[in-house]
């Protein structure tokens, strides 16, 4: 796995979120996903997918920048900045944040296993 490969996986994940391509997204997610939002709420794979499938959460666009990839054997960590346009419970929101996420190698390929984000000051 190279830095370029990890960034390609990241792009596929973000595009699947925006396009609501749940089959593509589910294929990228680890069964033990821990998704910690910038609000400090935490989702599992099932609860995060359910929020999107039900329409409670809709990712409209994402501008990701300053990505850095660090690969440690079967784990890849990605840090960066994001500005996301989302709709939560029908209300539009702009999220400006820093994030750390993790990918891990499994027998089924590389899977997205963790997300942690922190809001940026206004």
DSSP codes of every residue in 6-69: HHHHHHHHHHHHHHT-HHHHHHHEEEEEEEE-TTS-EEEHHHHHHHHHTTSEEEEEEEEEEEEE
Rounded Cα distance, 21 and 23, in Å = 6
* pLDDT at 1 > cutoff 90: no
pTM: 0.93
Q: For residues 25 and 43, is the Cβ–Cβ distance under 8 A?
A: no
The one-character DSSP state at 1 is -
Q: What confidence tens digit (pLDDT) does each residue in 49-92 have?
A: 999 999 999 999 999 999 999 999 999 999 999 999 999 999 99
Q: What confidence tens digit (pLDDT) does each residue in 9-23 have?
A: 999 999 999 999 999
Q: What confidence tens digit (pLDDT) does each residue in 36-52 have?
A: 999 899 999 999 999 99
Q: Which domains does the chain have, with CATH numbers?
A: 3-119 (3.10.450.50)
């Amino acid at each position: 796995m190279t830095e370029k490969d990890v960034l390609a996986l990241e792009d596929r994940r973000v595009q699947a979120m925006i396009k609501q391509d749940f089959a593509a997204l589910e294929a990228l997610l680890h069964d033990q996903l821990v998704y910690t939002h910038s609000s400090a709420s935490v989702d599992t794979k099932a609860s995060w997918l359910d929020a999107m499938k039900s329409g409670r959460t809709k990712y409209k666009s994402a501008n990701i920048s300053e990505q850095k990839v660090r690969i440690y054997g079967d784990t890849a960590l990605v840090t960066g900045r994001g500005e996301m346009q989302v709709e939560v419970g029908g209300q539009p929101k702009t999220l400006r944040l820093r994030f750390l996420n993790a990918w891990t190698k499994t027998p089924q390929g590389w899977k997205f296993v963790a997300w942690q984000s922190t809001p940026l000051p206004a």
